[in-house]
Structure 1
């Protein structure tokens, strides 16, 4: 069984003491490739550096999360465009809107999102399309409206760490977007609705991710004392996903891996 974690924040400082061991545990758990999330001006270059240090295994995204929207200056835009010249950077983002926490003013979030969508549009126009790695929380209407302004100019998109409603899910599927499912699925307090919704996601649009070090699956036993999520727990997520979809684990793993490999245009390892 080979798995691909499409979203792991491996540049997070919690991994500094044991990052190599984390990657080894992931390999032992069947995680063949990982996409390292670039979510700020500081961490996107670090994500690329990690990908370059682990060719064929790690890849990166480059973007600015809405929490960091106020750092999106002209210089930041130029930095991101330079990062996207590297083949190891396989997606634009993490970008989008987050009205749940509002760590950045909403107008700044919308401006940063629009500028990153322009990067994706420019890459597509130049013959080097890269998919979008999208974030949306409590901002569905504005999120859809902004993306609508770029209709016909963007490539593929995945709504990362989907936690939304049935209406939101079908709005994304109707636009031919992909869906990323995390350990939120395993949260009996907040994720129960996802147990039913994942059955509605076509196999060719569904991918899995840990969002490590966040969102440790609450059904992992025993729970680690440090509460840090790791890519090795992707195997647990695919088991839960398979159960909820009425599939065997091997089928769920094969479908999500094939979808991720095609979506990010990843070569088969080895």
Structure 2
């Protein structure tokens, strides 16, 4: 299998002591490319730096997660635009709305999201999106940019059946993580993933977060990493009722087209 992890937080400090080994384990597991998530003013430049250090293996996104929305100043906007001038940065985000945690005031979240949607409307790059407990506002803001945006992926989809079909009706892509493997919170996804067209479906680890609960053996440090992406692909294939080679080939082809990877 040749897989693409469309969302890995490889700038996280939990990888500082063994990042090269993490990348090697990913390659050994068949993860041919990884998109490093940039989700703040601090980590978006680091994501670009990593991608430039590993050409052909790593790519980056650049954006500000709703948790960090208060940092989205005019200076931050200029920094994001400068990052997007680099070809290694293949998507705008992680950006969106999070009303579950509410780590930033909702008006600040909406303002930061709108400014990043404007960047995507101007540069034509795909959107790497976050939405939790904010579906109505999220959809309304995206609709304000109808006809002006390139492709979009709702990363780490955890929502309801209605939300899934709403996303698909808007032609958005869906990113599936190890949340699928969580019998406490993700059991509903087992049935929903059957309804995602192959050309809209991508997979991701969201490492170091969301370690699949069905993974065996379980790492002692409970840290997720891209090498575990094949496990997610296997679970996803079983739930979709298809051979894992089919799931792997389809999600890889979709990710390559979405991010315009070589």
Please state which band the TM-score falls in when normalised by the shorter chain.
Answer: over 0.9
1:55 paired with 2:55, answer yes
CA distance in structure 2 between the aligned counterparts of 1:24 and 1:85, rounded to whole angstroms: 29
Equivalent runs, 1:169-188 vs 2, <5 Å: 169-188=164-183
CA distance in structure 2 between the aligned counterparts of 1:255 and 1:220, rounded to whole angstroms: 23
Partner of 1:106 in structure 2?
106
1:79 paired with 2:79, answer yes
Equivalent runs, 1:158-237 vs 2, <5 Å: 158-237=153-232
1:222 CA displacement:
1.4
Partner of 2:45 in structure 1?
45
**Aligned-residue CA RMSD in angstroms?**
0.4
Number of residue equivalences: 262
1:225 CA displacement:
1.2
Partner of 1:35 in structure 2?
35
Question: TM-score normalized by structure 2?
Answer: 1.00
Partner of 1:266 in structure 2?
261
CA distance in structure 2 between the aligned counterparts of 1:171 and 1:40, rounded to whole angstroms: 28
* 2:78 match: secondary structure: helix
Equivalent runs, 1:90-129 vs 2, <5 Å: 90-123=90-123, 129=124
* 1:229 match: secondary structure: coil
1:3 paired with 2:7, answer no
1:77 CA displacement:
0.1
Structure 2: tracts of 5 or more residues without a match: none
1:214 CA displacement:
0.1
CA distance in structure 2 between the aligned counterparts of 1:256 and 1:146, rounded to whole angstroms: 27
Partner of 1:68 in structure 2?
68
Question: TM-score normalized by structure 1?
Answer: 0.97
Post-superposition Cα deviations, 1:182-207, rounded to whole Å, max 9, x if no partner, equal 00000000000000000000000000
1:122 CA displacement:
1.2
Post-superposition Cα deviations, 1:114-163, rounded to whole Å, max 9, x if no partner, equal 0000001111xxxxx20000000000000001111111111100000000
CA distance in structure 2 between the aligned counterparts of 1:230 and 1:171, rounded to whole angstroms: 30
1:130 paired with 2:133, answer no
1:244 paired with 2:260, answer no
* 2:96 match: secondary structure: strand
1:100 CA displacement:
0.3
* 1:192 match: secondary structure: coil
